[in-house]
Amino acid sequence: MPLDLAVIQPHIARMAAQAHTQSLADHLEAACARLREADAAHLLEVIAERERSKERIPWLVAKPREEIGAAYPPPPLPSPDFSVVATDGSAIPPDRHSPLRFFVLNTGLARLTYGQRPDAHLWARSLFCADEEDLYITAAGRRIPVEGARLGLRMALEELGALFEAAQEAPAAGPVLALHDGSLIFWALHNEEEAVLRYFLPQILDSLERFQKAGIAVASYISYPGAQDVANSLRLLVCGKDAQHCGQCAGASAEERALCRALADFRDQALFLRHLQPGQRSAICDSTSAILDRYGEQRVQFFYLHTGEEIARLEAPQWVMQDETSRRFLHAAVADQCRRGRGYPQALIEAHEEAVITTGEHRLVEQMVEEALAAQGVVYVRSAKDRSKRERGV
Amino acid sequence: MERIGEIVATSSNSLTAVSFTLHQPPALGSLVRVDVEGERRTVYGVVSFGTTTGLDPGRRVVRRSTEDVHDAAIYAEHPQLEKTLRTEFTALLVGYCGPDGRVHQHLPPQPPPLHYSVCTCDAEEVERFSQQRSYFRLLLAAAGELPPEQLLAAHIRETAAARGDDGEWLAAAAREVAALLKGEYDRLLGLLQAIEPR
């Protein structure tokens, strides 16, 4: 066993001890108190002032659309008849050890209908992509390969398209909620070159607009979110003025500085796990993610929800969040889904089950490619490194 | 004759089928048939086991009931269960009918094909097949999940009922069993008790 566990073990123990100190717990409590007492109007003023000045806010912050310390209990479902449609995706990415370039996308779908005529429809859509237009984005004569984050965006597009079709086919009785797995804020686009952004973003926004035109509430669900938007907003209230020189704030007490430093490490979910009761949602907030400036009418907002097990982040276009009927349905239906799914939306569980590509299936696809090539008289040669890893000879 | 399942495993002496209706495999001991098209052959089996499990062996069945929602209401509350659970049944092969229409009470020459339909047998067919009882030996010799004498008892009960509570047939079946289990008093007694009319 080459991994020396004896060397690692004391470091693990030290990390665990550091993660649970009394001072951290105290800071978390102090941060929650700030959250309860914070005034949304004042916070928005501070953010606006900072945005007007040259002093950029170096973090993403949450701009509350309601009182930031609010906690809303789940409203009742609007009707006993309703459907929840969900998608999840899985991919076999392009393999650089293979002589042929291709990828496979598998979109898992679940449509669960409740009420008078309960029903379930679970299925998957598989896509094999080996054509030039699938494998590369062309920009000024250059070919930008669809892989890594770009493959993730392509997957998301497939999922949103399939989600819309599945939602449209839902029974007419009662409203339909369309749930996407992961974030609707495709911030990764911001790190891509303009050509890539121009390729993906209009398609993503078109997908969201189709939901809007059809009057279908669409949202995305993030389990165990890593976001710090709200914690960062609280930092603005704690440390006063000089956000760029965090930790050196003149005029701040030592206690405030320590709290500010602690907030830099807190995820929003840690705050809301204390702040919200099961079923409750937080205030709706705008994100300051720069990519959202290009979302127009599809600008995405978010809130946190106590699922009974954890804090989840729900993201949806503003036309869902700002419409009372859609917002209440989203909150009620997701809380209900988490109850049925023992802490996680049942429709997403089923969509995931449909989406999964097993190691065996992955191997089978490779084998099918090998056989197809062999039929053409071509010997499939993988990289020597990959072959050696598979063979593992002694 | 009603299609009730699809064969998902097959062999020379048994078949396993997915039931078309969740929780409703055919009755234990009942006679079922598989029509093998083209060969004009019908294979007969006796239902020897039924089970309902998760479709994916990797997923554990978890508790779903609450104070207010239990039993049948669970399935309305969680409609995906209809798609993620499956009921399967196994039938031991006990005979077949060839193109000449003659019923043979021994193992068929070929296993029934995968994915073919398993159907119920109507009373007339049960009566015709059970006229002879030499297939009882096959059931008693089976190494299935249940004690063979309990399986045979279930079959005798089902058949007597399908034959309109045919007391004469039941008595003949009991005599047949007594002959087969001579020298095995405990097994015979258990079987006779299990088929005794109430």
B114 secondary structure, DSSP code: T
SS3 state at B45: strand
- pLDDT for residue B117: 96
> Is A265 an 8 Å CB contact of chain B?
no
Phi, psi of B141 (to 5 degrees): -90, -5
> Is B76 an 8 Å CB contact of chain A?
yes
Q: Look at A49-63, A95-109, B76-90 and tell me which has the smallest mean pLDDT.
A: A49-63
pLDDT over 70 at A247, yes or no: no
- pLDDT for residue A256: 82
Closest CA to A84 of A271, A280, A393, A341: A341
B180 vs A253: which has the higher pLDDT:
B180
Separation of alpha carbons A332 and A104, rounded Å = 35
Pairing of strands A103-114, A82-92: antiparallel
pLDDT over 80 at A117, yes or no: yes
How close does chain B come to A14, measured CA to CA in Å?
A: 35
- pLDDT for residue A238: 83
Alpha carbon dihedral A183, A185, A190, A191, in 10-degree steps, equals -10
B75 and A118 within 8 Å at the Cβ level: the answer is yes
* Residue that the structure tokens 């686009």 belong to: A189
- pLDDT for residue A243: 52
pLDDT tens across the length of chain B (198 residues): 799 999 999 999 999 999 999 999 999 999 999 999 766 899 999 999 999 999 988 899 999 999 999 999 999 999 999 999 999 999 999 999 988 889 999 999 999 999 999 999 999 999 999 999 999 999 999 888 999 999 999 999 999 999 999 999 999 999 999 999 998 999 999 999 999 876
Question: What is the CA angle A388-A389-A392, rounded to 5?
Answer: 75
pLDDT digits (tens, 9 = 90+) for A25-39: 888 999 999 999 999
pLDDT over 70 at A153, yes or no: yes
Count the residues in chain A.
Answer: 394
pLDDT over 90 at A99, yes or no: no
- pLDDT for residue B37: 74
> Is B80 an 8 Å CB contact of chain A?
yes
Number of Cα atoms under 13 Å in the Cβ half of residue B127: 10
Closest CA to A257 of A245, A275, A266, A269: A245
Phi, psi of A62 (to 5 degrees): -95, 130
Considering only CB atoms, which chain B residues are within 8 Å of A350?
80, 83-84
Question: Which amino acid would we find at residue A16?
Answer: A
Query: Tokens at residue A261, please?
Result: 């430093």
pLDDT digits (tens, 9 = 90+) for A197-242: 999 999 999 999 999 999 999 999 999 999 999 999 998 888 665 5
| Cβ neighbours around B99 below 10 Å, total | 8
- pLDDT for residue A224: 96
Separation of alpha carbons A189 and A353, rounded Å = 28
B78 and A350 within 8 Å at the Cβ level: the answer is no
Separation of alpha carbons B165 and B175, rounded Å = 17
pTM comes to 0.87
* Residue that the structure tokens 């891509």 belong to: A192
Radius of gyration of chain A (CA): 24
Closest CA to B42 of B112, B126, B90: B112
- pLDDT for residue B198: 67
- pLDDT for residue A392: 77
Closest CA to A65 of A325, A282, A329: A282
How close does chain A come to B23, measured CA to CA in Å?
A: 17
- pLDDT for residue B36: 93
Separation of alpha carbons A223 and A245, rounded Å = 32
Q: Distance of alpha carbon B126 from its chain centroid, rounded?
A: 13
B53 secondary structure, DSSP code: E
Separation of alpha carbons A381 and A369, rounded Å = 11
pLDDT over 90 at A381, yes or no: no
Contact B86, B53 (CB under 8 A): yes
pLDDT digits (tens, 9 = 90+) for A285-319: 999 999 999 999 999 999 999 999 999 999 999 99
> Is B77 an 8 Å CB contact of chain A?
yes
Question: Which amino acid would we find at residue A37?
Answer: E
Considering only CB atoms, which chain B residues are within 8 Å of A118?
75-77, 79
B82 and A112 within 8 Å at the Cβ level: the answer is no
DSSP secondary structure of A240-274: -S-GGGTT--TT--HHHHHHHHHHTT--HHHHHHH
Question: What is the CA angle A232-A235-A237, rounded to 5?
Answer: 125
Question: Which amino acid would we find at residue A373?
Answer: L
How close does chain B come to A182, measured CA to CA in Å?
A: 22
pLDDT over 80 at A390, yes or no: no
- pLDDT for residue A1: 61
SS3 state at A197: helix
Please compute the mean of the pLDDT values over residues A194-199 and round it to a whole number: 94
Please compute the mean of the pLDDT values over residues A173-199 and round it to a whole number: 94
Closest CA to A87 of A270, A353, A363: A353
What confidence category does residue A52 fall into, taking pLDDT thresholds of 50, 70 and 90?
A: confident
Separation of alpha carbons A206 and A212, rounded Å = 10
